[in-house]
Chains A and B, each alone.
Chain A
Amino acid sequence: MSAGLLLIVIVAGAYLAAHFASEWMARRFLVVSGAEYLLLGVLLGPAVSGVIQASTVDGFAPFLTLAFGWLGALIGAQFYVRDLIRVPTDHFRVAMTEATLVLLVVAGVMGGALRWWLGASWAEVLISAVVFGAVGVSSAPTGIAVVSRRLGTRGFLMRQLQVTPAMDALVAITAFGVLLAVTHDAPPSGAPVPTPTEWVVITLAIGVVSGWLFHLFVGGERKIDRLFIALSGALILSSGAAAYLRLSPLLPALLIGVVLVNTSPARHEIRDVLTRVERPLYFVLLIFAGAAWQPDGGGWVLVAAMFLLVRGFAKVGGAALAARLHGHLPSLGSRWGWGLMGHGGLAVAIALNYRLYDSSEMAGLVFTATLVSVLVTDVLSAWIVQALVHTAPEPAAATASAAEGRP
């Protein structure tokens, strides 16, 4: 049996098994996660069974690039300004502070650890450290959404937990996108050499121009099929352009998402189209991310464990500090950062994007640590959020009401 055929059979079979198993587990045990697909990829990949070879992963790189772009657009589509202005600004302040603190702490500590581990200079570990930071910031919203639906809780804490992953994603994607732009290598000989600032502008321009193209293309129509063609074209074009220039497809796509939901009258249809295609791409992303894992020696265990600890401390500590700085510690409690512990698809996308561009040992360590973190935290995220909400501080309701202007 050929590797390609075997791959399809296993992916299909495993998809079905995982699909049924995850549905049952979500209902029965409140375990919601994509980690099972990631684990499946690891089992199929060269590190374990070798069903998916490294060359196969390379062959699927365009699909993965597209998955990055699609994910970025879906995240960007959350930033509909008219919805956002209804949320009290304190939530955003707390979330931005938390995200910035986590980015700085994780990048700083993991950079130091890499220096010590590999005997490298700060300049050599800078990129990996910032990628660690960007990965560390991102939080999975799935567990929060499930608990919110299940418990119907609408307090200050739950609102904060709902707002923060989106802001985390914004900070993570921006940090990663800007990082790849400012540290960009020179293009092939003969071409003009853009400065780091120009690379940042190019990254942003890809997103803005693609969003503008979408509008030109769609005109006043709202037919779902036409929207699908336009959206696919704009996202594939922007993701392809970003990957071709070795920039992150996530940031331009995020901009497309923001531009489209805020300027198009068909924002609901756009979200529908984005959601419809996201799932299959997400499966592909997780399965091939798992398959791309190739640990180099046994040192990754230490780095992964350290990343888990550092991120955990940074999330809990950063969240508590952010709440304190903005005067919301009484309503959020000092442990609300536990609710952000889930580590989802965005973290995988950032780490895999970095891994595809950089085959160095450091990039491998970042990728490995991310996968371990996702496998460990994502499965438990809904449980953690539920436990957190059940033990939320009593004054939360009063403070939340005051913050939201309700009696």
Chain B
Amino acid sequence: MRRLGILVVLLVGMELVLPLGSEGQGSQALLAFGFLILAAYTIGEVSTAVALPKIVGYLLSGVFFGPHVLGTLTEGGAAGLAPVSELAIAIIAFLAGAELRWEEVRDRGVVFGKIMTAELLLGFVAITAALFAAQRWIPVAAELTGLEMLAFGMLFAAVAIVHSPAVTMALLTESGARSPVARTTLGVVLLADVAVVLLFSLVLVVARVIAPPSGESVVPSLGLVVWEIGGAVLIGAVMGLAVATYLRFVGKEMVFFGVLAAFFALEVARLAHVELLLTLLVAGFVAENSSEQGEKLRHAMERSAAPIFVVFFALSGAKIDLGQVAPLLPLVLPIAVVRAAAIWGGVRIGARWAGATGDESRYVWMGLVSQAGVAIGLAAILAEAYPGRGPYLAGMLLALIAVNESVGPILFRHALTKGGQTDTAAEASEKGRPAPAAPLTS
């Protein structure tokens, strides 16, 4: 009842305020930001009450209040919050990198690599085949030759196999999980984040040869892709060392410094044309593993960035246009099922190959279903690369992402709970190691 009261007050307040003012100097974005923090968080709590992860609530609030349903958050307001989303992505990537310990990578890196290889390959092949099978129902693909269909199928699959580091991190911090299933899922997701960017770029080059795009298109060269990855590792490592140096010699104003460092990395990555997520992942990893103070910074950033994450997921939801997604669902739902089955199969094979535990073999796949920002970005590149057929395929991908974005967090949360994997502060304390930080999304 109290939560309903909050939503009513917020909605009535917005209805009263919006006609009386005018956009100027980002004030509408700030208003939307404040509204979303409270509204999305409230719906996140409601979703917890019905045993759903909070981020599903955040996403749903974005859908409801967004420009395509209630319109409380206008397109202008959402566009004004783009820097918040960018900052959130940067912070999430940094925190994700900081979650990984060098010892873990050294001891378990092979396991992560084998599981990732198996699930990505199987997913890639299965989704390409699924698209072949669905060719007659895809309007833009009906007249394609077999080879051209193969090219588009591979492109589609290269985006469809992408996971979501943001959702993974959010759920891990929400649950405080640090079990083998949680750690392996995080490791695979982070490793796959690098691999899919490489794979997508390779496939794009191959597809361009097989099915040259009509009209002007933007296709990155292979050299550029290598620089995107290699440069990101290099720049990220330098940034991580700089952060560690700050922590060692200054170690004050963590929040200010963390946000400044994230903005700095955003700018550097943009200027140097390197992969943003990877840059921040490496920076977080290096900072955490080369400084004894890294944990303090991570906790400060997690606490202070919580409102940013709430709004980030709500904005992701606001991008989902139900009117566009609904007609594509009959086409996309079977593909989503194939994808999930391929991930399941791939993880089983990979886990056996790597000699992983039974729990990892059974539950890790559930953490790999989610999709969000990275996949949306690659779908946009696909649409640009193929101005003729690309936009329709990108639309299908967005519908697929919407499905996976909704179902994925529920599955992952189930996986973390099912195996008794959540780890509270008290439990952590009993085991003699530091308690997990305050939840990102609490």
Contact = CB atoms under 8 A, between A and B. Distances in A.
A248 to B, nearest CB: 12
Interface in A172-191: 187-188, 190-191
Interface residues of B, number: 50
Report whether over half of chain B's contact residues are helix, strand or loop; otherwise say mixed: helix
Contacts of B306: 225, 228-229
Interface stretch (B35-43, B207-215, B383-391): B35-43
Contacts of B5: 216
Interface in B14-49: 17, 19-35, 37-38, 41-42
Interface string A260-288: 00000000000000001101100100000
A358 B405 CA distance: 44
Contact of B25 (A11, A228, A356): A356
B129 interface: no
A61 B38 CA distance: 22
Nearest to B84: A62
- Give the dominant DSSP class at A's interface: helix
B41 A244 contact: no
Contacts, number: 160
B26 A62 contact: yes
Given A226-B442, A229-B310, A237-B37, A209 B13 contact: yes
Interface in A292-313: none
Taking residues whose C-beta sits less than 8 angstroms from the other chain, chain A's interface range is 35 or more
A266 to B, nearest CB: 16
B439 interface: yes
Given A5-B271, A229-B41, A239 B34 contact: yes
B267 interface: yes
A19 B256 CA distance: 12
A209 B6 CA distance: 11
Contact of B6 (A187, A213, A241): A213
Nearest to B42: A217
A249 B271 CA distance: 36
B260 A237 contact: no
B264 interface: yes
Given A62-B26, A188-B22, A244-B21, A277 B38 contact: no
Interface string B338-378: 00000000000000000000000000000000000000000
A243 interface: yes
A277 B264 contact: no
B107 interface: no
B19 A244 contact: no
Interface in A213-243: 213, 216-217, 219, 223-226, 228-230, 232-241, 243
Contacts of B317: none
Closest 7 CB pairs of A and B: A237-B34, A240-B31, A240-B30, A61-B25, A236-B34, A280-B256, A243-B27
18 contacts: A5-B267, A8-B264, A15-B253, A62-B26, A190-B19, A213-B9, A217-B38, A217-B41, A225-B438, A229-B37, A233-B38, A236-B33, A237-B37, A239-B34, A241-B21, A241-B34, A243-B31, A245-B21
Given A229-B41, A244-B21, 6 more contacts: A2-B271, A5-B271, A209-B9, A234-B38, A243-B30, A356-B25
